[in-house]
Structure 1
Amino acid sequence: MKISAVIQQLNDVLHPLLWGWPVLAAILLAGANFTFRSGFFQFTHCKLWFKNTFGKLFSQNSRGRDGISPFQAVSTALAGSIGTGNIVGVATALTLGGAGAIFWMWVSALLGMMTIFSENVLGMKYRIKNSDGTWLGGAMYYLERGVHSRGLAVLFSIGCVLASFGMGNMAQSNSIAGALQDTFGVALPITGLVLAVLLTIMTFGGIRRIARVAERLVPFMAISYLLAAGIVLYCHRQMLPEVFRQIIEEAFGLRQAAGGIGGAAMANAMKTGVSRGVFTNEAGLGSSVMAHSGSTLKEPVEQGMWGIFQVFLDTIIMCTVTALVILCSGTLSSGKDGAALSAAAFSSVFGNYGGALISVCISLFAFATLLGWSYYGECGVRYLVGSRAVPAYRILFALSAIAGCTLDLHLVWGISDIFNSLMAFPNLIALFLLSGEVLDETTNYLAKCRQKEKAEGKRRLSAKIRRSYSSHSQKYESNKF
């Protein structure tokens, strides 16, 4: 029997166990735990986290010698999470789970906001300084230093390195090569060589170079995609009310209930939506915390709020827009799936250019994922065997992109979820065991904010009184004469 056949059989047995409802339920439970115990922080303090994230996008970010700016950190994290899942993954979710899957994707994202918030708080709290002066953080560090389990930290790091080569590299490079070949006729080996050269240049510049590229690439590709999708939605705007009604009804199996399959349809929509939501925003995996921990911010809770913003942009905005474009265009019933379904939806407005637009977007999104996961894998290698092995990893990572462009990767996609579970299991254990520390950090930060607001209010009142007194004094002096 071939090795690939053995791996496939092993995957068929392990996949339902390691990436089925038990893991997905644990991820949702972690988000619900922090949501309830924090007093629904992502909702009740929406103004606070929005002001500290989106409100500071256009301000001057501090770039110290000991790390990267908060915006660079979230851009790097978004580079790892905004990928083909936002285009291909959403289309697949719709074909597998119907329109109702989008509702459950929203639910997983709203809870995932607090999961990733908690990961970032712990990542900032337990991070360490690297020899080059930058910060190193991640689930492996709070597993070792917070949970005091070196074994779980090693397990997480192994899963991270394996996932960086699979889902984070070969799966992404294969998507880029396929898109460029189908649309522009670019040969697969050429795409692989170009990617290998670019990755070598990027990765050997370290986190600072990756962050500089990410802070330019991520906003550009996100804004461009949203503008194109906005045009499609505007042209199909009359369909929006019906589409939202369809999402809600199918989320609870109301449309299918007439045929006696309402419960099964709801369960299918729920599982598909939750799994795709986790796949796109990575909340619960502990991956993006490695990028966030490199921030120059000193306050863990503030960087945690950037994590909330990450999930908001990645899933609530990007994935929703893709879903609405497909549903409003009416192409879901075309029988197509994945990239072809998304291309058909955009072609409903852009004609023959729709396919080219999706190919370019897939290429940009997948390349951003390559950059983000190259750093995640590097962090895993550095933790396992030290910094001396990092150059070898960078070279191997670049060469893997060439292999990814030319190989059939159905098996890689299949076992990627198993690698994810190797990260999710230990990370979720840490989140539950250290949840009290996250809540303490959050409570202390909010108390500081209230004190600051009170002091600011007194300062404004004092200034107002001084201005009023000065005005009355001037009037009195003028009346004397």
Structure 2
Amino acid sequence: MTAIVDFLNTVLWGYVLVWGLLGVGIFFTIRLGFIQIRHFAEYFRVIIGSNKTSSSGISPLQALTISLASRVGTGNLAGVAVAIYLGGPGAIFWMWIVALVGMATAYAESTLAQLYKVRNANSQYRGGPAFYMANGVGSRAMGYAFSICLILSFGLIFSAVQANSISQSMTAAFGIPGIWTGIVIAALAGIVIFGGIRSIARVAEKIVPAMAGVYILVALYVLVINITEVPGMLATIVGSAFGFEQATGGVTGGIMVALLNGVKRGLFSNEAGMGSAPNIAATAVPDPHHPSSQGLVQGLGVFIDTLVICTATALMILLSGAVDYGPEGAQGMVLTQNALSEHIGAAGPIFIAIAILFFAFTSIIGNYSYAESAMEFLGLGTAGPLAVLKLIALAMVIWGAVQPVATVFNFADASMAVMATINLVAIVILSGTVKQLTDDYFAQRKAGKEPLFRFKDHPRLDKGIDPTIWNRDVAAERR
């Protein structure tokens, strides 16, 4: 099994996704007129005051917090440390690039998820890449393949990844055995996920803003006390990315190693192009009532995740001097804990342990919510199959808590790569639809109107869309 996983990682990461992710991100950036730069303010405008909901879906703010719950986790703390250890400071620059172009990719995939969403038997919104592959691209086979990968990766493997990081940090900070950490986290996660997506939304809406805010405050403190070194460190990050700085220790291979690790860990963190966040984006009642508005919300999630939180972690690690590129050097969560201990003493490892507890816990429940959409697409969205998935997901939490970090990350890389490859093909095929929706949205903004999408006004989009979702009375939709 390990040999198969390693082969998939070599092919997909070495020859397909590194260039595919950057290429698709650049493609959408250009085709959408540098949307993430020209309309940067709009990414924030659509989330301010967006608390509209209905009996069919959750609010845009709840959708953002759930997607952030999934994004902001192991990748922001352990993943950044792994990227630096394996790729050097230059890997952080490539994480920035992935996020910058990824804001356009995330916008595209979540806009499509909104457009092609459906109502299930309980009149709840469901959607995501599998639905736009089947109804937009016209390939149910792609939808089936994507759904299976999504369930395996987000429903199962990524839960193990998050549990692994919680376990490591708790062992390092408090000496708690991994098995006990896994059991407790599984029990707490079970309480939430058995309550359904609305329960997950309520928990994420409260925890995510608080945990991100506290973490950023600690990072700002570290930057302030090291303010004279910050400009030089930023220059080192950029210089290392292009080989201008001398590579040290683990950075054998220079630019390509930095690029590979930056892209891999960047994608793992912000998920742009992976096809994960669109599953929760589709469940939201958009505000304004237009598919593009929810695409903008999820693009903002990429910005917050990588350009804010990952950068904060990277600077804390690099400014600490705690990185040892030798074979015995700390990596992952332990490196992040060691780095913060250099800045604030013995409280550092404890703070990181508590931070990852909340970050990774919310990732577990957020990741699971994505799998429900895939189950719906496969015709398994009823109580029985979902209960089985929930129990297996919780078992994976316990399994991940006692596994070596390398094993867990390798499985996560492989499943993520397969998912992302299928999704990238689909959104490129549907790029013309994304362009049409984007032009419509900003034309209405330019005319001083609140953007509103009506199916009947877009005769070219006549296949695979539920017209009752977009032609019904907007006021009634928001009640």
- Bin for the TM-score computed over the shorter chain: 0.7 to 0.9
Q: Does 1:364 align with 2:353?
A: no
Structure 2 residue runs of 5 or longer lacking an equivalent are 452-479
Residue type matched to 1:88 in 2?
Answer: A
What is the CA–CA distance in structure 2 between the aligned matches of 1:193 and 1:276, rounded to whole Å? 27
What is the CA–CA distance in structure 2 between the aligned matches of 1:38 and 1:295, rounded to whole Å? 23
1:395 maps to what in 2? 391
Describe how 1:61-100 pairs up with structure 2 within 5 A. 61-100=51-90
Q: 1:269 to 1:450 in 2, by over 3 A?
A: same
Q: Does 1:441 align with 2:437?
A: yes
Describe how 1:449-460 pairs up with structure 2 within 5 A. 449-452=445-448
Q: Does 1:227 align with 2:221?
A: no
Q: 1:8 to 1:447 in 2, by over 3 A?
A: same
What is the CA–CA distance in structure 2 between the aligned matches of 1:146 and 1:232, rounded to whole Å? 48
What is the CA–CA distance in structure 1 between the aligned matches of 2:240 and 2:298, rounded to whole Å? 30
What TM-score results when the alignment is normalised by the length of structure 1? 0.88
Residue type matched to 2:11 in 1?
Answer: L
1:320 maps to what in 2? 311
What is the CA–CA distance in structure 1 between the aligned matches of 2:393 and 2:276, rounded to whole Å? 17
143-152 vs 411-420, greater mean Cα deviation = 411-420
What is the CA–CA distance in structure 1 between the aligned matches of 2:450 and 2:127, rounded to whole Å? 34
Q: Secondary structure at the match of 1:331?
A: coil
Contact 1:91 1:337 (8 Å CA) reproduced: yes
What is the CA–CA distance in structure 1 between the aligned matches of 2:401 and 2:89, rounded to whole Å? 32
Contact 1:229 1:322 (8 Å CA) reproduced: yes
Q: CA deviation at 1:39?
A: 1.0
Runs of 4+ that moved beyond 6 A: none
408-417 vs 276-285, greater mean Cα deviation = 408-417
Residue type matched to 1:349 in 2?
Answer: H
Contact 2:172 2:334 (8 Å CA) reproduced: no
What is the CA–CA distance in structure 1 between the aligned matches of 2:156 and 2:13, rounded to whole Å? 16
Contact 2:400 2:408 (8 Å CA) reproduced: no
1:28 maps to what in 2? 22
Q: Deviations over 1:190-217 (max 9, x none)?
A: 3233222222221121111101100111
* CA-based RMSD: 2.1
Contact 1:21 1:271 (8 Å CA) reproduced: no
1:136 maps to what in 2? 126
Contact 2:98 2:263 (8 Å CA) reproduced: yes
Describe how 1:201-220 pairs up with structure 2 within 5 A. 201-220=191-210
Q: Does 1:17 align with 2:11?
A: yes
Structure 1 residue runs of 5 or longer lacking an equivalent are 1-6, 456-481
Q: Does 1:169 align with 2:163?
A: no
Q: Does 1:353 align with 2:347?
A: yes
Residue type matched to 2:320 in 1?
Answer: S
Q: Deviations over 1:418-461 (max 9, x none)?
A: 21122112211111100000000000111111112699xxxxxx
Choose the corresponding residue for 1:274, options 252, 263, 282: 263
Higher normalized helix content (fraction of residues): 1
Q: CA deviation at 1:313?
A: 0.2
What TM-score results when the alignment is normalised by the length of structure 2? 0.88
Choose the corresponding residue for 1:423, options 414, 419, 424: 419
Describe how 1:228-247 pairs up with structure 2 within 5 A. 228-247=218-237
What is the CA–CA distance in structure 1 between the aligned matches of 2:318 and 2:409, rounded to whole Å? 26
What is the CA–CA distance in structure 2 between the aligned matches of 1:107 and 1:178, rounded to whole Å? 29
What is the CA–CA distance in structure 1 between the aligned matches of 2:165 and 2:416, rounded to whole Å? 19
Residue type matched to 2:242 in 1?
Answer: F
What is the CA–CA distance in structure 1 between the aligned matches of 2:279 and 2:199, rounded to whole Å? 15
Q: CA deviation at 1:348?
A: 1.8
441-450 vs 22-31, greater mean Cα deviation = 22-31
Give the count of matched residue pairs. Answer: 442
